[in-house]
Amino acid sequence: MLGPEQINLSPRLTPIFLEGSASIPLSDPAAKALGLKDGQIIQAVIAARGALLKLILNNKELEWPGSSRFKPGDKLDFRVETSIFGRSLVLIGRPMTSASNNSSPPPSARLLSLMHRPAQPSILAGMLKLGGFDTLRAQISGSEQLGANLLLSMAKLSPQMVKRGLANSGLFGEQRIAVGAVTQGLDIKQLLRSLLRSMPLQSPFRSDLEGAIDEVESRQLESLQAQQSKELSYSFVLPFMDANAVEIELYREALNLSGAGRDWVINLHTESPGLGELWLKTTLKSAANIEMVMWAPRIDVAERAREATSELEYELQRFGLNLEKLDVLNAPRPSLSEGLGGSGQVVDVST
């Protein structure tokens, strides 16, 4: 399993490892008592209280196991963040010490291969397409746990189910361990590794399982690299029991110095037996205004989408959203090779 100890082998990713492993979970009442707001940068100080070291924030003491790594008087900067796991303080810097000046070992071959994994169709989405999971289930025992815990229902899809799908995507396993979060069941990456361990060595499905694990871990690194630039980027697969899996990308640029909000971009990609291949890019221009672009290679599907625009506007209004623009293009979305250049380019490429 690619864990924080391996991520820390890369000099480029060391600051990200520090942030992810130094999160301090906060309840809403605690955040309110401290006067904290989402996205706020705040300074705290390490102070001695008897034989213990405490973190002092806004004149209040916080219990933090990470205090033991510092000395009294050290000043630390934290960012207030809200994620699917709740609100937390994320360490974004620490004082320079003699240990931090030492040269870091070079990244492992495994880490380098994941960081430079070539663009390719999603192996995980292919494995979890409609009927694909049944093929996997027939090969090994225990795979029914994957279906019970992780496969959603497209017919009953809800915001809560999407949130659960992101939480179980495999992107956050190490982060959960770092902050001591309580988990229920295994996420996709943990279950894929469990299935791989019980897969016969000669099975032709081993290579697909290994490729799917590489895909998840490569996306973990992409998310970490985006965080290093103060961006947010998550790519994951949402599996369904009654439809093909959907590939999802969430991206937001780094906030500027004034703290002004940036557009959120949501990219979707799937292939439906009845509609063919589809791509959808949604841009949240504000809390309520959105723009959408859809790519549909089949002309009949593109026409049906245009005819359903008014119905889509009505459904979005039920959630307090205003559809400013919808462009439906009768063509495939441009390929990865036309736009991919690194972290943050997800808004301009296909999934």
The domains of the chain, with CATH numbers, are 4-91 (no CATH), 117-230 (no CATH), 263-351 (3.30.750.140)
For residues 222-238, give the mean pLDDT: 88
Report the pLDDT value the prediction gives residue 143, as an integer from 0 to 100.
54
**E-only strand ranges, 230-321:** 232-238, 246-252, 264-272, 276-284, 289-295
Q: How do residues 309-349 score in pLDDT, each as one tens digit?
A: 999 999 999 989 999 999 999 999 986 444 333 333 333 43
Cα 245 to the center of its chain, rounded Å: 17
Nearest to 213 by CA among 183, 170, 162: 170
67-96 pLDDT, tens digit each:
777 888 888 888 887 765 667 888 875 544
Residue 295: pLDDT band (50, 70, 90) is very high
Going by C-alpha positions, the residue among 290, 279, 342 that lies closest to residue 312 is: 290
Give yes or no for a contact between 351 and 247, defined as CB atoms under 8 angstroms apart: yes
**94, 17, 100, 97: which is closest to 55 by C-alpha?**
94
Residues 283 and 263 sit within 8 Å (Cβ to Cβ):
yes
Beta bridge partners of 128: none
Q: Assign 12 a pLDDT band (cuts: 50, 70, 90).
A: very low
